[in-house]
Structure 1
């Protein structure tokens, strides 16, 4: 187990919680069209659903607070002549929505809608009136498969069509200002956080990153090699893109791309499993997590982005397969229950189930570490400014103000920006401290050798080594003494026939019996004293009495413990005798 560690993450134990059936949206007729979109879109007030209906295309808008069984007849948003393929909510106005359909008539391709004030599905009117569009954007000669609002500029919309083009619309002017020629069926598209770039995947298995206002790709290269659909999602304020797709062997894959060098994915393609359904990717900027919802299965797995890798966290598993999934914007989640993400999934094309992803904490106060500032309702620029070339991130809102019920407190666009925060590194495994290296053997002196005072490895040698370590911390004015040799309180008594050297700081002269050692050789530790007279061997007078005193103390402790053990043994014998007598009486 040495060297292993657990990766530090506050989202390591995040879990998905299903919703009771009576709190779902029941008795729906979700579209069964085979076109590959998410079927659902959600904002903090409404949920849009591609609707299965005859007599022209329609979609439904469900107020989030009207849960349970829907009435038999509800007001629909009608206006298309064929099935609705995709919808998208305006990020800066929760009442505005756009839709694209398989109409086949250019004048009816993209419609704009406004949810009426006080809109409800429950009405006492005898005739339920459908909602009519408030605007049209003609221009595509074939079906519109995807519609997507710009996340930073107001009233800028991208739409992909069966004519193999993507048009960029200025809704205020009611016209397309740019056209991207993909020349292939577009399978998915996603904006960068500042709305300047757009990433697309297409049937020709290529990943393209577009400079939208220049109407040209800044990158065009191979993506997933499988024949089935692939998806791409821009990872918020990072210069990174996540894609899902298939290998040539039809294994589901996940890949991470660097926008500045997108010729191949970072660390290659990661195989997920061998399930045949498309993976729908969703990026959450607040938690820095990527959620993958499988189309045709009931599972949602999630990964944390860290150190240019997707670290697997866990998986929400369900036996109810999903065809459509939508994720709530951050400002619409329930922070009082530590909910960090909420998803909505279709079940059997008849009802929609909310799934809450929760960080398990007991704290009953605002958790600022898991709720950084998030995008609000204010755009960074107008459509005219964006088409003129301006780039900016939209202002953010303080999540604490929403938690306290104070409304949306606006913050600068760079507040809590992940791009400015250092990436969290996984903790390094704790290593065992290495043993200190053994000291190198002392070089032999070239001039008269010095005789040691005892056999190698005795107590004197240990004391000498300890004295050498302690010499690192003595004052500078004592260095001269140490160079000539030193004594230790742990030294054994010296034999009387071995002379000692006495050195004085004032006059460093060797005593007559010994010769001075050369400066280039390391002296063997010998006894020193501050006086210039003969050195008295104080080991017997100082060290030995202290050692004897310690030995006497240890003997006293041993004697005391012996008496205690004897007393406890006697008590134990008495207890045994008493138990025996009780047994004999009972017997």
Structure 2
């Protein structure tokens, strides 16, 4: 008798599990715009969701730990004049998010750590250069302040967000609508899919296609799914690809290896309700004590439901084989270095002791570099810069300042009273 040989893999028994109801985000009016983006972006601090909004476009930002029912009057991020189509958190600053819209603009926003008391309507910068709607937003993985946008004008623009200027414009490499764009790991190349049914690998700095013929795939996987759009998420630390069908109710995941047959089906997580969008947590935001290797944020019609992917292990010790050093929040390059042709891999961090997100980094910026943390050069500041910085001061800092001012006022009142008493003695001739 022949025995079936089972492929050995530490991820063979990965299983998905939906969070309980009290760990979901309820009463959210998820956007009904017919666009193929994920409609959700998450990081270790926040979950952002594109929502229905009258009179323009908006998205909702919630603190990750603030689960439960969302107040119907919860502040929004709203500055676009048409629906928001895509959002993406900056990998080098957890308080900065970018959005693309049907109004043909890209906006970059600063999100405070505390709960905003009113809607955020003033972006850090508005990037204008597309002639049609902007449906794809993607930050550079290793270079600070570099942002890519792609629009229905078949054009890709790479921006220096720090100066608000376009660095590279790719306007003649695609003959039809661009479906998706992604960076490689060190940000030296981009890969695009297009309505003309071609996949292109592009060197953006040389502005040329370096690979386009993909007639013979190295692996072919039949998918039992509807005609909805597949949202792929790849984890370079585990070499696992997750495929989430928009309008589907399943997450299928596969392990990628260097040897044939290259693609190995692991399992499928299924639920009853279809997903309208999906957010994918960066590795820094996972719970390593529970052997969690991935977490999704599934959008329903009125809620966002976290789904965890876990490797079953009995030990409570840190599992080094599941968590190699992963990409941290520090940028490896400045925009000028990247534009000069320099490449750098992500700066890695260990998750052995867990990850605690840093506090909000205030944007004290000079005109030249908006997202830099360095203070402006020279003593002079324009009123608009001061006003912009003041509006971003945290609530805690304001309360501390009010308390200190109150102490000063009280001490001055006591001193004034003492002086008045002394003065009255002089005027009455008693001194």
In which range does the TM-score fall when normalised by the shorter chain? Answer: 0.7 to 0.9
Whether the aligned pair in 1 keeps the contact of 2:42 and 2:89 (CA below 8 Å) is yes
- CA distance in 2: counterparts of 1:274 and 1:281, whole angstroms: 14
Partner residue in 2 for 1:287: 238
Is 2:131 aligned against 1:141? yes
Is 2:222 aligned against 1:271? yes
Partner residue in 1 for 2:155: 165
Whether the aligned pair in 2 keeps the contact of 1:44 and 1:329 (CA below 8 Å) is yes
Partner residue in 2 for 1:21: 21
SS at match of 2:179: strand
Partner residue in 1 for 2:312: 360
Q: Where in structure 1 are there 5+ consecutive unaligned residues?
A: 222-261, 408-587
Is 2:303 aligned against 1:351? yes
SS at match of 1:401: coil
Deviations 1:506-536 (A, max 9, x none): xxxxxxxxxxxxxxxxxxxxxxxxxxxxxxx
Partner residue in 1 for 2:185: 193
Specify which of 196, 208, 231 is matched with residue 200 of structure 2: 208
TM (norm. structure 1) is 0.59
CA RMSD of aligned residues (A): 1.6
Specify which of 109, 118, 123 is matched with residue 113 of structure 1: 109
SS at match of 2:265: strand
Distance 1:406 1:53, change over 3 A: closer
Whether the aligned pair in 1 keeps the contact of 2:77 and 2:119 (CA below 8 Å) is no
1:3 is displaced (CA, Å) by 4.9
Larger Rg: 1
SS at match of 1:370: coil
Partner residue in 2 for 1:384: 336
1:63 is displaced (CA, Å) by 0.8
Whether the aligned pair in 2 keeps the contact of 1:83 and 1:102 (CA below 8 Å) is yes
1:406 is displaced (CA, Å) by 12
SS at match of 2:109: strand
- CA distance in 1: counterparts of 2:335 and 2:193, whole angstroms: 25
Partner residue in 2 for 1:372: 324
TM (norm. structure 2) is 0.80
Whether the aligned pair in 1 keeps the contact of 2:45 and 2:357 (CA below 8 Å) is no
1:263 is displaced (CA, Å) by 4.7
Aligned residues: 354
1:40 is displaced (CA, Å) by 0.4
- CA distance in 1: counterparts of 2:357 and 2:70, whole angstroms: 33
- CA distance in 1: counterparts of 2:205 and 2:175, whole angstroms: 18
- CA distance in 1: counterparts of 2:168 and 2:348, whole angstroms: 28
- CA distance in 1: counterparts of 2:298 and 2:2, whole angstroms: 43
SS at match of 2:222: strand
Specify which of 255, 266, 275 is matched with residue 322 of structure 1: 275
Higher relative contact order (CA 8 A, sep 6+): 2
Distance 1:32 1:406, change over 3 A: closer
Whether the aligned pair in 1 keeps the contact of 2:233 and 2:241 (CA below 8 Å) is yes
Q: Where in structure 2 are there 5+ consecutive unaligned residues?
A: 359-431
- CA distance in 1: counterparts of 2:327 and 2:283, whole angstroms: 8
- CA distance in 1: counterparts of 2:10 and 2:212, whole angstroms: 37
SS at match of 1:99: strand
Partner residue in 2 for 1:38: 38
Deviations 1:225-282 (A, max 9, x none): xxxxxxxxxxxxxxxxxxxxxxxxxxxxxxxxxxxxx453113x32112522221110
Higher mean C-alpha deviation, range 352-361 or range 277-286 = 277-286
